[in-house]
A and B are shown apart, each in its own frame.
Chain A
Amino acid sequence: MVQTHRCEDHETVGENKEKRPKFFINDHVDILIEILKRLDGRSLCVAASVCRLWCTIARNDSLWENLCFRHVSPPPSSVRSVVLALGGYKRLYTGCVRPVRSRLGRMRKASWARDEVQLSLSLFCVDYYERLGGSNSNGRVVEKSSPSSLMFLCKPVNV
């Protein structure tokens, strides 16, 4: 484990050990969560590769929920159950909210923030529906295994 390895490192360093307070962020998960909550999507993904603890925390859907609704007033609680049913906030963010926000970034108006999320939700729902179709093909030819309705969001914008 990375944590114990670090402890050993400090121990072998020697002289300054007594003067330096031992503070490992991994001991204070609540603070860690508060910090991770404020990251943007890309940093959060990077954080997930630091160590197992961070990975587990970063996978927590509530962090991604925070990301999705960061610039909007908190949504009603019914949204959460819908989003979780359709695949979770991380998927919503990486698949829809982030591409939608970056695409609209050029002509963004402040009042659009809520509509962006709503549009993302609708696209997310269509995506879920298409994924449903892939697994329940029942002998029908499956054209695509990956959800296709969001493919247009993945391609670079051609100005």
Chain B
Amino acid sequence: MLRYDSTSSSAGSSSGSLSSSSSSSKPPQQDIDGLLAGAGYKVRSSELRQVAQRLERLETAMGNSPADFSQLASDAILYNPSDLACWVDSLLTEFAEPPPTCSSDFIVDPVNNQTVVNSAWTAAEPHTPQVHQNITYDEQQSLDNQLTVVTAMEEDSGIRLVHMLMTCAECVQSGDLSLATSLIDDMQGLLTHVNTVCGIGKVAGHFIDALSRRIFQGMGGGSVNGGSAFENEILYHHFYEACPYLKFAHFTANQAILEAFDGHDCVHVVDFNLMHGLQWPALIQALALRPGGPPLLRLTGIGPPSPDGRDSLREIGLRLAELARSVNVRFAFRGVAASRLEDVKPWMLQVNPKEAVAVNSIMQLHRLLGSEQTRNSPIDTVLSWIRGLNPKIMTVVEQEANHNQPGFLDRFTEALYYYSTMFDSLEACRVQPEKALAEIYIQREIGNVVSCEGSARVERHEPLAKWRRRLSGAGFRALHLGSNAFKQASMLLTLFSAEGYSVEENEGCLRLGWHSSPLIAASAWQAVPAWDNHMSSS
């Protein structure tokens, strides 16, 4: 396990003498930066910043004298690129770069600074989100130099933060809480050097909080799950507005449900988490306009009971009923208040055998997964009564992540990568306060994944492949979502103000991701008729 010392003091003093790195004594093995080593480069952690600055100068030099560069390429003298520090220095001597003085170490061309630093790190660090340096370009020239120092340090600190987070998680897993505690202190100190408004600093901040909560408050999670239902609804609503994940989920599920209801005159939708009912206006409108006229639509919304006498489920039902009345769709609503999904019994839903049933679960099924794989675990009970309803379609949307692994370190690593990607995508949102509240929503999820255990940990995300196995084993077969759903999803994403979202189709399921990292997966299922099915043990 490594302790990283802050080497900011050493940078100024080792003033760019070119022979310094190559003539230094053999570095101790542990000082090699682990992540870069994974990419095949040997760089000492203490030299990270210097190497970065020299790479910048190299790029400037290459840009300024392309003739020299082509000569270099044709000269077949090969340097060992894996020893990155020496390699860069050797190339710099080729360009006859004067060795920089101490002060000029920090005066770097601000225009090139961005691209060089970013590309150097992103090439080697595919899992670290790019730090969005959106402050420097607008600053005045006199401030630029100061800021380039900050950005170089930030990148350095950002990488270190990730290292320390991983190390701390490892400590927590092995039970070494004293080392974990001191690492938390170090990380919080390091956070002051990093821009916590965006990028790695922000995500790291949340993970540090979650880790410290786990260490100091035990695994009940403290106040993470303490949010009232009303608060959760507000946060959910802002998450809906700020990023397209929920909209994608709703529109895709609606399209599948609409297609499944084709030809039926009596339809019944069971929503496992009603919230503000934002999914249903679009379905009501689509049913109103379907050729042949709208069916009789019944909606059963499940949600947590509301305190202080207010019946929030009924209020939402009334709103939806008013909308349905405006567009002439016969509509009936029923609310089922249950604090946990496993408390719901099928008789509460009052399903009529003659109607076509659709079950809609947006990020709810994973809450039923316990840590022990027992028979009659909540997920099995719920899946079996769903099957008993014989739904025409069951739409399942889940986070595409593996956050239910037994090992803490694996879970932590996955979560760090997943939520970094999600925060990255959130950067594109310009609408406040939606963005800030959406972040709190995500922050709560992070807190639950990292700092809770046992029954308190409800965010037990599993990837699509696992859900496929589980649902097939419970007697469901997959329905293909179809090209209409794909087209609609693509159009919807194009409307969002960032060109980073991607939809991909995978064996009939749609996955929405940010820059090809999938974040959320939508699929549709149908119960296999009982006489056709042999139950395989899951």
Contact = CB atoms under 8 A, between A and B. Distances in A.
A112 B322 contact: no
A153 B327 contact: no
For this complex, into which size category does the number of interface residues on chain B fall?
35 or more
B278 A129 contact: yes
Contact of A104 (B322, B327, B434, B494): B494
Given A82-B288, A122-B251, A133 B276 contact: yes
B495 A104 contact: yes
Contacts of B276: 133
A9 to B, nearest CB: 48
Contacts of B32: none
B285 A122 contact: yes
Interface string A122-144: 11011011101100101010010
Given A148-B241, A152-B431, A155-B431, A126 B495 contact: no
Given A128-B281, A152-B495, 20 more contacts: A82-B285, A82-B327, A85-B326, A85-B328, A86-B285, A103-B495, A119-B491, A122-B251, A122-B286, A125-B323, A128-B326, A129-B277, A132-B323, A136-B319, A140-B315, A143-B237, A148-B241, A149-B240, A152-B241, A158-B497
A115 B326 contact: no
Nearest to B293: A78
Given A129-B278, A138-B315, A157-B497, A143 B234 contact: yes
A115 B289 contact: no
A97 to B, nearest CB: 12
A132 B319 contact: yes
Nearest to A122: B282
B430 A155 contact: yes
30 contacts: A76-B289, A79-B289, A81-B327, A82-B327, A85-B326, A85-B327, A86-B285, A86-B326, A103-B494, A104-B491, A104-B494, A112-B491, A119-B488, A122-B286, A125-B282, A126-B282, A128-B323, A129-B277, A132-B323, A133-B276, A136-B315, A136-B319, A140-B310, A149-B278, A152-B429, A152-B431, A153-B495, A155-B431, A158-B497, A159-B499
A68 interface: no
A100 B495 contact: yes
A156 interface: yes
A158 B498 contact: yes
A110 interface: no
Nearest to A149: B241
Contacts of B285: 82, 86, 121-122, 125
Contacts of B123: none
- Interface of chain B: mostly helix, strand, loop or mixed: helix
Q: Counting chain B CB atoms within 10 Å of each CB, which of A81, A123, A126 scores highest?
A: A126
Nearest to A78: B289
Contact of B241 (A99, A116, A140, A151): A151
B428 interface: yes
Interface of B: 234, 237, 240-241, 251, 254, 276-278, 281-282, 284-286, 288-289, 291, 293, 310, 315, 318-320, 322-323, 326-328, 428-431, 434, 487-488, 491-492, 494-499
Contacts of B498: 158
Contacts of B494: 103-104, 107
Contacts of B241: 148-149, 151-152
A126 B322 CA distance: 13
Contacts of A112: 487, 491
Contacts of A138: 315
A133 to B, nearest CB: 6
A149 B282 CA distance: 12
Nearest to A96: B495
Nearest to A139: B310
Contact of B327 (A86, A116, A143, A159): A86
B322 to A, nearest CB: 6
A120 to B, nearest CB: 10
Contacts of B434: 148, 151
Contacts of A103: 494-495
B288 A78 contact: yes
Nearest to B276: A133
B199 to A, nearest CB: 17
Nearest to A100: B495
Q: Counting chain A CB atoms within 10 Å of each CB, which of B289, B328, B434, B487 scores highest?
A: B289
A82 B289 contact: yes
Nearest to A125: B285
Contacts of A107: 494
Contacts of B323: 125, 128-129, 132
B319 A129 contact: yes
A81 to B, nearest CB: 7
A125 B431 contact: no
Given A152-B495, A155-B430, A125 B488 contact: no
Given A128-B281, A133-B276, A149-B241, A116 B326 contact: no
Q: Counting chain A CB atoms within 10 Å of each CB, which of B277, B293, B323 scores highest?
A: B323
Interface string A70-101: 00000010110110011000000000000110
B374 to A, nearest CB: 41
Contacts of A126: 278, 281-282
Contacts of A76: 289, 291
